[in-house]
């Protein structure tokens, strides 16, 4: 881990839990709902929430598209004593499928679809082996479908929040924020963001401090948008590689050349990725801007 990104987990826990309690005091809300994927960000966020609120005031929703992570979710909720009646395990496959069909979106996660084909040409294709279609490059339809999944999840979370009079907790970290790796009005939609000021590598430090299961900490980060999808495969670089570069560029205001001289050979690639998505931080554009 980069020396720049070391944190004091105990102090960080105190800082974040104090922030969460302050928000609830200011807003008057008593309950919070979080989408729990079983990944390190949402799991660590839930541990922090549990240290801030009583378990009966925490609602957990596991909104899956592919295979549900039921055992992981139940283990985490059991460890944190989240009541069974506060746990939702919901498949988003049907609403996503209906939107996919309505909008004629076919992605490389469809075993019998080649990128860019029409329905008529698709019907004449021979079904390809799983290994072939999983390995296809990311297409615009993959991205469209992934955005739909993220937005469907937030529709469900905000509806459940209304049902329970709860705030919606986001789980974005600082690495994702700077890289623009989020869906507007999807996973970026929330009422409170407790870990947005921490880089991915810092989340790992907190997770180990909380004794989050090692399999969660070591799992390859993924948004679960298509089979074999991982964050780092989309980036073309790892979080471990990106975090110090993002820190030096955005927090310390070093130039790409200066960062490269410190030994970070992929600085230009990482910053170009962030720059390409920087418009997300400026929308919506309005006449007052």
- Taking residues 144-161, what's their average pLDDT? 96
How many CB atoms are closer than 10 A to CB 283? 9
- Reply yes or no on whether the pLDDT at 125 is more than 80: no
Distance CA 204, CA 212 (A): 9
Q: What does the pLDDT read at residue 1? A: 56
E-only strand ranges, the chain: 31-35, 58-64, 87-91, 166-169
- Higher-pLDDT residue of 206, 137: 206
pLDDT score recorded for residue 26: 97
Q: Give the span between the Cα atoms of 72 and 219, in whole angstroms.
A: 12
Share of the chain above pLDDT 90, in %: 75
Over 90: is that where the pLDDT of 182 sits? yes
The pLDDT of residue 181 is above 80: yes
CATH code of the region 3-233: 3.40.50.620
**Sign for the pseudo-dihedral over CA of 25, 28, 157, 284:** negative
Q: What is the pLDDT of residue 289?
A: 57
Residue 119 above 60 pLDDT? no
What does the pLDDT average to over 274-287?
93
Position 140 scores a pLDDT of: 82
Rounded mean pLDDT, 153-165: 98
Instruction: Look up the pTM and report it.
Output: 0.87
Share of the chain above pLDDT 70, in %: 88
Q: Please give the Cα distance from 109 to 207 (Å, whole number).
A: 31
Instruction: Say how far apart CA 209 and CA 217 lie, in whole Å.
Output: 11
41 vs 108: which has the higher pLDDT = 41
SS3 label, residue 211? coil
Q: Which residue has the higher pLDDT, 94 or 4?
A: 94
What tens digit of pLDDT does each residue of 28-42 get? 999 999 999 999 999
Q: How confident is the model at residue 110 (pLDDT cuts 50, 70, 90)?
A: low
């Amino acid at each position: 881990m980069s020396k720049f990104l070391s944190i004091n987990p105990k102090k960080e826990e105190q800082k974040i839990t104090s922030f969460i309690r302050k928000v609830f005091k200011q807003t008057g809300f008593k309950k919070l709902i979080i989408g729990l994927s079983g990944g390190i960000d949402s799991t660590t966020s839930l541990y922090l929430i549990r240290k801030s609120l009583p378990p009966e005031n925490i609602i957990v929703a596991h909104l899956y598209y592919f295979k549900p992570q039921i055992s992981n979710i139940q283990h985490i909720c059991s460890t944190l004593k989240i009541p069974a009646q506060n746990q939702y395990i919901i498949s988003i496959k049907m609403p996503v499928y209906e939107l996919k069909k309505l909008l004629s979106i076919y992605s490389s996660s469809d075993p019998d679809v080649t990128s860019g084909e029409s329905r008529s040409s698709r019907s004449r294709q021979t079904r390809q082996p799983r290994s072939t279609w999983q390995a296809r490059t990311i297409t615009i339809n993959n991205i469209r479908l992934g955005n739909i999944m993220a937005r469907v999840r937030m529709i469900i979370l905000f509806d459940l929040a209304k049902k329970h009079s709860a705030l919606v907790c986001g789980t974005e970290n600082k690495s994702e924020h700077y890289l623009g790796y989020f869906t507007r009005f999807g996973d970026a939609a929330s009422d409170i963001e407790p870990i947005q000021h921490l880089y991915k590598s810092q989340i790992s430090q907190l997770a180990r401090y909380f004794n989050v299961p090692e399999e969660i900490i070591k799992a390859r980060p993924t948004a679960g948008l298509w089979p074999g999808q991982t964050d780092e495969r989309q980036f073309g670089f790892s979080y471990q590689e990106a975090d110090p570069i993002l820190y030096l560029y955005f927090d310390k205001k070093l130039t790409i050349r200066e960062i490269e001289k410190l030994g970070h050979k992929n600085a230009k690639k990482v910053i170009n990725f962030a720059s390409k998505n920087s418009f997300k931080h400026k929308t919506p554009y309005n006449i007052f801007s």
